[in-house]
Structure 1
Amino acid sequence: MSSQLRAIGCRGSLVFTQNLKLTQLAKSGRIEEAIGVFRGMTNRNTVTYNSMISAYAKNGRVVEARRLFDQMPYRNLVSWNTMIAGYSHNGCVVEAAELFDRMHKRDVFSWTLMITCYTRNGELEEARRLFDRMPGEKSSVCYNAMISGYAKSSRFEDAIELLDSMPCKDLVSWNSVLSGYTQKGKMGMGSKFFDRMPEKDVVSWNLMVEGFVRVGDLVSAFECFRRIPDPNVISWVTLLNGYCKSGCIIEGRRIFDQMPEKNVVSWNAMLAGYIRCLRVDEASQLFMEMPERNSISWTTMIDGYVRIGKLSEARNLLNMMPFKDVVAQTALINGYVQRMKMDEAHHIFREISTPDVVCWNTMISGYAQCGRMDEALKLFMRMPKKDVVSWNTMIAGYAQDGQMDKAIQFFHEMVKKNRVSWNCVISGFIQNGFYVEALQHFKMMRKEGKDPDWSTFACALSGCANLVALQVGTQLHNLLLKSGHIIDIFAANALITMYARCGRILTARQVFDEMVSVDLVSWNSLIAGHALNGYAKAAISIFREMKKNGVAPDEVTFIGLLSACSHAGMVDDGLELFYSMSRDYPMTPVAEHYACVVDLLGRAGRLEQALKLVKGMPIKANASIWGSLLGACRMHKNPEVANVAAEKLFEFEPHNTSNYVLLSNIHAEAGSWAEVERVRVLMKERGVWKQPARSWIEIKNEVHSFSSDDSTEPRAAEVFMVLRVLNAQMRNIGHMSDSSLLGCG
């Protein structure tokens, strides 16, 4: 009997030791090691199961936690509470409520857990219903959970009413309401509430200091700090953080030096302050002086080197780090990603045993930015747990790479889409010239109950501008007014461009004048709008107005001005503006500016001067420049210069049909039929054929698109018959397009 008792005692001691180890591993987040210990245990008790359920839940693996809960041979009240706490921790309200309703026995902790679960997720009515149903005397913990929920949701009247009805208030109750005020930045109301508190502890004072820091009122934060009877290290660090985050690094260092005691959090706060101000040398010196460093210290310093581009120093520091940390490794990976050094980033990534979701997303984003979508897809498919950022990154990457079919495929496969998902798709359509599809998805987004933000509106308005869809654009303007996003400068700038492109230049100016604040893009949009509509003198007048307001022009400004002068035939004004770029501003003309000047000279018939300018440029001419010259040759019937321009243009765009057609038309008008035949042969040799054109029309606030070869339209036969009649009439009166000479009409 005694040997049996000893054996039972030994087994019990072993289980106790293993349970303790399991709990420690769970608390430190070492979930895989915890699973290994659990699976290796031959004897398990209820504590063992409860510890493992808690470990799963704390690491977001609630499905596995529930599976283990259902497999338990015996459950006690703690088991039920642990599982509900796990659901609550992971925001699984429905699952927690289902489990709570199945409980045969509940204690105060069970009720408090469920109330907290509801309040955390903003379901305050359900929480209050449960609170009122709770049997027996309610504990202060339960009251505080409900009060905290009200305060965090800015329902301060309800919070104070419940506080006043508490039979026994404690400091936690008062601080819960105060915390709500300070976290929401309502420091006026918070100060009044603070003054009426019957007693205050250091937590109360710290909440006030933190609140003033949050709203950027460092003067009040310091005054409040000075009044704290016995400030603790949190008080000092809160004030220190306020100064450092506001860029007041000298004041922050003074507070740091005055601290009676410093913990590693204090040192890290000062270190982060130096890094935020890019004073990396001082940060490095402080780092060397630190008596104790943790993973945050090393990561902050590595991030500092990354910010200033010293990646070799960052890598050396990572190698010196006594314990590798995924956050530090991700910081270095991000540095390589920003500089498009994906091979180096991948090398670091391979060294990480268990990369987190941020690390995976950083790598995927890097490959996407570099256009290496195959590698991005491989990582995405390997990723054990994808979040909405992972999906959005893939959508944006494919859109940026011009693969809108794959972007849409990923979009439709997403289980849960957010506003960014919709914005990625809509902006992708705009980037790739699918304006009708962009507007269709904007409409779908609103139908699905997702509210567009300034970015969505800016993209949709860009689509309207490119389609010249004034009615749809006006509807978007009205939606902007209702949504409140009209004050956003990006959306307002897109609105200016939309009205200008639709020919409503006065309305564009009105939008500009009504803007709360304008930036350089606003001025450029207005100048370009006037240029597009032929108001060259007005564009130059706006340019002078802009300079009077102290806004310096940029390269885009001069593109708009030169374009305006070109369309209005203001050669001298245009040339003066062009030469003033390098003379009066620290600006070197780029290809777009030369293209405008070539167009300016070409329209005026000064083709030889334009060709001389192109040949004497300090930069290599591009397709836009040679295209402008070729277009001018058509206007002024100059086949000699046209041949030069076309041959250069064919090097850049060997399969662009319009260039061949344009050159053929120039020779046809000059009667050079041999040259026309030469161009036709050249097109056949290079496999160049005219693609069917696509047009858009706005009917009853809807944008419709169609192409010349689209036989799927319901009235296609009727449309083609009318077109043939019109073609015949045009031939009879001699207005047939010259493109018919190539058989491409």
Structure 2
Amino acid sequence: MKLKQGIRSISKAGNHVISHNLQIIHLGKLGRVEDAIRIFSNMTHKNLVTYNSMISMLAKNARISDARQLFDKMSPKNLVSWNSMVAGYLHNNMVEEASELFDAMPERDNFSWALMITCYTRSGKVDKARELLELVPDKLDTACWNAMIAGYAKKGKFNDAEKVLDQMPAKDLVSYNSMLAGYTQNGKMLLALRFFEKMAKRNVVSWNLMVAGYVNSGDLSSAWQLFENIPNPNVVSWVTMLCGFARYGKIIEARRLFDRIPRKNVVSWNAMIAAYVQELQIDEADKLFKKMPHKDSVSWTTIINGYIRVGKLDEAREVYNQMPCKDIAAKTALMSGLIRNGRIDEANKMFSQIHARDVICWNMMIAGYSQSGRMDEALNLFRQMPIKNVVSWNTMISGYAQAGHMDRATKIFQAMREKNLVSWNSLIAGFLQNNLYSDSLKSLVMMGQEGKKPDQSTLACGLSACANLAALQVGKQLHEYILKSGYMNDLFVNNALITMYAKSGRVENAEQVFRDIECVDLISWNSLISGYALNGYANKAFEAFGRMLSDRVVPDEVTFIGMLSACSHVGLATEGLDIFKRMIEDFAIEPLAEHYSCLVDLFGRVGRLEEAFNIVREMKVQANAGLWGSLLGACRVHKNLELGIFAARKLFELEPDNASNYITLSNMHAEAGRWKEVERLRMLMRDKSAGKQPGCSWIEVQNQIQHFLSHDLAKLRHENIQIILNTLAAHMRDKCNISDMESAYDIL
């Protein structure tokens, strides 16, 4: 009797363990890690399957350190435990850790070897993977060979992949499909087609690979032709073709195909809903969503994302509230919507409710804080993040750059173990947007020294830095590199080249770059027109504007800033006013402060100060520093002290630390003999400049950028000398009554 009770008790306990193990696996799939941990902690009986399930679940939910702690506590461990931990490292792209654990394994099976080979190939270490393949004891095991073929093929090393395929003692269909996948995923569809036609055996996977390859290459006609010939298409076949139509905006064809699917499963429904969401047809997507016989987490998340994309955040939240099991993907989707709408604190509440946060979730919240300028909170999250990827680091660099803290951005960059192209571009662009042009160029040089090749974004930033420094020689060197590296067809780079040459005074070079562009865009025209304006070529600016309109390119706000600036530089007041009116009446463009600033500068240059001031008083937008600066400069030239004082006071409010405004007003007071005001302004300047970073100027001499700091005693301080000379001249004129002092002052 006791024996039977004991057997029943053991059997009952065993059933509980199995039940709990299944629950852990299910909760892991839903991303409910804390619930799985709670079940695990409360289990009175645990077996090896329990521990292995927990390791796998934690690793797949970005809790790799917790998985490792559990693995280390296990005693005894079996081969599945070791394989689960290696697979966990593979899932989190932690190659070195996987390699160390693989080396420490007391025993290995074919799966262990295949895991490690896959780990190396996915991280691009195909040579190490090949070395490992040579050591595999069971040469007849196809999994290791197939992993090696897939690794080579994915990297585009087709000759090496084919050699491995030829050397295989026993090939299976997976071997051929791995090779085919390499061709199709790299867009080599001619090679793929030849290989596909030579395959002795094909299955539906082979056909699907070809259809997907043509879809990814944009050849929908060939994809459709192949799809129609599939002997027995499965749901992947249908969904692949459906997604192909959707990707290229053929929503009607996608719906027709969807309606033809003989047995629709949840994947096909989700694909069609996603197609409507992509086209922003949220009502159609919602209709289909409501018709679905069975919905999974992807269905709910897709419709939530759809509402977010069209700006219907309340509807997205309503769908989220109806969702039976809210997984991490749905929570992250709603969180992204809140961030996109500037509701950061609400997003943070959602973030705090997510217990099993993946790296995407962490990065999204950090990016939200960064984009809102809340860098202390972004840094706090960044420090808490258990596993940081390169996106996390790059987000912090961009955030600090956007907030103007390039010293902190640089520290983050220097602390990175592995930097990618985005890391370098974020740093270089950060220096550029914070007017640290020399540092931007230095970083570009360092990037080359570390063996990283710049892309079009890097080169455009470098050219912009050269433009702002007027560093023509450095800009020419970049131009030579662009010619050699094949980026001359990139419109982004060409437009930056036009600006660089124009700002360096080389208008002919800018024109040549413009002529060499096959298909110019609005930015190209704007760059050319602005270049003409900057160098005083008003007639050429008008010619370019006329050609632009002839080519049916619609001008924007920037175009008219260039045109008004061109008129201002040569004093074409009537023409400038006509352009301004045309902008409003013909092109329905609302004037910005920059447009008014150009008008004020234009009227100020020709002495029509009252008209300039009336423009400021009557305009509908808020005046900026550039506008008041233009008025102050005009008052300085035409000796209108009263209006100049008014403009200067406005400037002191907008940019209290800009010394040039104080200097200009001081000069005006000096000319009027108002010495007390001159002294008061100089004292005010000293107080403002205390503890401030000194002003900096630069010039390119013999291919070197020479810097001039305002407090650098090693360099002449031209501004102070100018103030002193102006003060002395005005004082002499006031006291000595020298008749020819006007001409002497003009020389100064």
**TM-score normalised by the chain length of structure 2:** 0.89
The amino acid that maps onto 2:276 is Y
Deviation track 1:134-168 (CA, whole Å, cap 9, x = no partner) reads: 34542233332222222222222333343344444
Q: Which residue of 1 aligns with 2:740?
A: none
In structure 2, what is the equivalent of residue 162 of structure 1? 164
Separation of aligned partners in 1, 2:649 and 2:102: 79
Q: Residue 436 of structure 1 contacts residue 705 of structure 1 at CA under 8 Å; is this kept in 2?
A: no
- The structural deviation recorded for 1:558 is 1.0
Does the alignment pair 1:258 with 2:260? yes
CA 582–496 in structure 1, closer or farther in 2 if over 3 Å, else same:
same
How far, CA to CA, are the matches of 1:36 and 1:687 in structure 2?
A: 65
Q: 1:442 aligns with which of 441, 444, 456?
A: 444
Which shifted more, 238-247 or 470-479? 470-479
Q: Give matches, 1:475-490, under 5 Å.
A: 475-490=477-492
- Highest relative contact order (Cα 8 Å, sep 6+), 1 or 2? 2
Q: C-alpha distance in 2, partners of 1:312/1:48? A: 41
**Structure 1 counterpart of 2:734:** none
Alignment-derived partner of residue 453 in structure 1:
455
Aligned residue type for 1:419: L
The 3 A distance-change label for structure 1 pair 47 and 595 is: closer
Report which stretch shifted further, 441-450 or 286-295: 441-450
Alignment check: 8 A CA contact 2:673 2:730 kept: no
- Per-residue deviation, 1:347: 4.0
Whole-Å Cα distance in 1 between the matches of residues 155 and 384 of structure 2? 39
The equivalent residue for 1:665 is 667
CA contact (8 A) 2:33 2:356 kept: no
> Given that residues 659 and 685 in structure 2 are in contact (C-alpha distance below 8 angstroms), is that contact kept between their aligned partners in structure 1?
no
Q: Could you say what secondary structure the match of 1:216 adopts?
A: coil
Shift of 1:605: 1.8
Amino acid at match of 1:251: E
Check whether the contact 1:84–1:113 (CA below 8 A) recurs between aligned residues. Answer: yes
In the other structure, the counterpart of 1:21 is: 20
Describe the shift of the 1:65–1:591 C-alpha distance in structure 2 as closer, same or farther (beyond 3 A). Answer: closer
Aligned to 2:533: 531
Residue 359 of structure 1 is matched in structure 2 by 361
Matched ranges for 1:117-266 at <5 A: 117-135=119-137, 137-266=139-268
Post-superposition Cα deviations, 1:238-285, rounded to whole Å, max 9, x if no partner, equal 111111121111111111111111111111111111111111111111
Aligned position for 1:681: 680
Partner of 1:697, secondary structure, is: strand
1:65 deviates by 4.3
Change (3 A) 1:277 1:66: closer
1:308-347 correspondence to structure 2 within 5 Å: 308-347=310-349
Deviation digits for residues 496-537 of structure 1, max 9, x if unmatched?
111111111111122222234321111111111111111111
Correspondences of 1:31-110 after superposition (within 5 Å): 31-40=33-42, 46-103=48-105, 105-110=107-112
Q: Which moves more between the two structures, 265-274 or 492-501?
A: 492-501
CA distance in 1, matches of 2:613, 2:6: 101
Q: 1:594 is matched by which residue type in structure 2?
A: Y
Superposition pairs for residues 633-648 of structure 1, below 5 Å?
633-648=635-650
Structure 1 residues 97, 694: CA separation in 2 closer, same or farther (over 3 Å shift)? closer
Query: Deviation at 1:340?
Result: 1.7
> Aligned pair in 2 of structure 1 residues 229, 110: CA closer, same or farther (>3 Å)?
same
Cα offsets for 1:470-502 (capped at 9, x unmatched): 122222222333333343222222221111111
Give the 3-state SS of the residue equivalent to 2:591 in structure 1. coil
Q: Which moved more, 1:3-12 or 1:43-52?
A: 3-12
Name 1:513's counterpart in structure 2.
515
Structure 1 residues 533-542 or 686-695, which shifts more?
A: 686-695
Distance change (3 Å), C-alpha of 1:366 and 1:45: closer
- SS for the counterpart of 2:725 is coil
Task: Provide the rounded CA distance (Å) in 2 between the counterparts of 1:331 and 1:73.
Answer: 40
Residue range with higher mean Cα deviation, 75-84 or 569-578: 75-84
Equivalent residue, structure 1, for 2:475? 473
The residue number in structure 2 matching 1:298 is 300
8 Å contact from structure 2 (residues 667, 726) kept in 1: no
Change (3 A) 1:590 1:37: closer
1:57-100 deviations in whole A, cap 9, x for unaligned?
44444455445545544444444444443444443444444444
Query: How far did 1:596 drift?
Result: 0.8
* Match of residue 570 from structure 1: 572
Match of 1:593 in 2: 595
Change (3 A) 1:295 1:215: same
Asked if structure 2 preserves the Cα contact closer than 8 Å seen for 1:656 and 1:688, the reply is no
> 1:494 is matched with which residue?
496
CA contact (8 A) 1:336 1:344 kept: yes
Rate the CA distance shift 1:527–1:483 in 2: closer, same or farther, 3 A: same
Give yes or no for contact 2:145–2:168 (8 Å, CA) kept in 1: yes
Measured at CA, do residues 90 and 319 of structure 1 come closer, stay the same or move farther in structure 2, by a change above 3 Å?
closer
Residues 87 and 95 in structure 1, CA contact (< 8 A), matched pair in contact too: yes
8 Å contact 2:609–2:635 — kept in the other structure? Answer: yes
**2:735 maps to 1:736:** no
Runs of 4+ more than 6 Å apart: 739-742
Q: Secondary structure at the match of 2:700?
A: strand
Query: 8 Å contact 1:18–1:37 — kept in the other structure?
Result: no
**Separation of aligned partners in 2, 1:324 and 1:591:** 48
**What are the Cα deviations for residues 384-429 of structure 1, in whole angstroms up to 9, with x where unaligned?**
4433323322332222222233333333333433322232222222
In the alignment, what sits opposite 2:284? Answer: 282
Does 2:570 align with 1:581? no
- Tell me, yes or no, if structure 1 residue 403 matches structure 2 residue 402: no
Q: Which runs of 5+ in 2 are unaligned?
A: 732-747
2:34/2:356 contact within 8 Å kept:
no
Residue in structure 1 matched with residue 554 of structure 2 by the alignment: 552
Which of these residues, 464, 474, 484, is aligned with residue 462 of structure 1?
A: 464
Q: CA separation of 1:74/1:667 partners in 2, compared to 1, >3 Å: closer, same or farther?
A: closer
More moved, 386-395 vs 253-262? 386-395
Structure 1 window deviating more from structure 2 (637-646 vs 207-216): it is 637-646
Q: What is the DSSP-based 3-state SS (H/G/I as helix, E as strand, rest coil) of the residue aligned with 1:487?
A: coil
- Report the CA distance shift for 1:403/1:21 in structure 2 as closer, same or farther (over 3 A): same
Q: Following the alignment from structure 1 to structure 2, what is the Cα–Cα distance between the partners of residues 355 and 85? A: 20
Paired letter, 1:681? R
Identity over the aligned pairs, expressed in percent?
Answer: 54
CA contact (8 A) 1:683 1:689 kept: no
* Farther-moved stretch of structure 1 (513-522 vs 680-689): 680-689
Spell out, residue by residue over 1:572-606, the C-alpha distance to the aligned partner (whole angstroms, 9 max, x if none).
Answer: 32222122111221212222111111111111122
Deviation for aligned residue 1:4: 7.3
Residue 686 of structure 1: how far off its partner (Å): 8.7
Contact 2:33/2:355, CA 8 A, preserved across alignment = no
Q: Structure 1 residue 348: deviation in Å? A: 3.3
Pick from 631, 648, 672: which aligns with 2:633? 631
Whole-Å separation in 2 of the counterparts to 1:466 and 1:43:
70
Q: 1:660 to 1:385 in 2, by over 3 A?
A: same
- Which residue of 2 is the match for residue 115 of structure 1? 117
CA contact (8 A) 2:497 2:510 kept: yes
